[in-house]
Structure 1
């Protein structure tokens, strides 16, 4: 299962959801210097942050080093495979995908075979 979070041109995006038997709150903040997002991930049940101010970059899984069943991936829907170059790109080209680590690894294996 892939969970999709559509990005916008808002400076702060916040969404709460339940995945993998966890109740989570994701807060993404636009960083004008990076022309991208940094995020906080909060475990609502444990009342604690999993991470704060973590970056998102196209093609690089965020949270891969954490003991979690999933990763966050910034996806460029256009297929260019590059990070945003303007705030409008975040609204038009980008989405954040939440994938299980197994799904992420399989996607990498599949893309390396083509």
Structure 2
């Protein structure tokens, strides 16, 4: 699992080497939706995996792609809600990149905890 801390900058760019892939992640703040959209670029293949994909708290982004991982936006406050202002990205939000198996295990664990 890899954590990307967000900031209130309009554009964030980060190069990552994960899951045997060299990637460039570009996050852009969308003031209309009050959230981030991202581009994911495969550096080795010199092509975009996706452009302008949205992030929503708790929802696995890229789950429908043939990739070994997903991106999940997490609300560190525990409220589990999307941002209401750009400043929420300074300290309340973070992005986690995890394998699909890790994500499925986290869902199973949450489900078991809620059923108790």
TM class by shorter chain equals over 0.9
Give unpaired runs (5+ residues) of structure 1: none
CA distance in 1, matches of 2:47, 2:20: 16
Aligned to 2:12: 13
Q: Is 1:99 aligned with 2:98?
A: yes
1:112 aligns with 2:88: no
Instruction: State the distance in 2 between where 1:7 and 1:34 align.
Output: 16
Query: Where in structure 2 are the equivalents of 1:24-103 lying within 5 Å?
Result: 24-103=23-102
TM-score w.r.t. structure 2 length?
A: 0.96
Distance in 2 of aligned mates of 1:77 and 1:69: 24
For residues 55 and 101 of structure 2, what CA distance do their matches in structure 1 show? 19
Q: How far apart, in 2, do the equivalents of 1:23 and 1:3 lie? A: 14
Q: TM-score, normalised by structure 1?
A: 0.98
- The 1-side partners of 2:61 and 2:52 are apart by 11
Unaligned 5+ segments in structure 2 are: none
d(CA) in 1 for partners of 2:37 and 2:62? 12
Q: 1:86, 1:7 → 2: CA distance?
A: 13
Could you say what the CA RMSD is over the residues aligned between the two structures, in angstroms? 0.4
Post-superposition offset of 1:59: 1.0
Aligned equivalents of 2:24, 2:74: Cα separation in 1 = 20
Aligned residues: 113
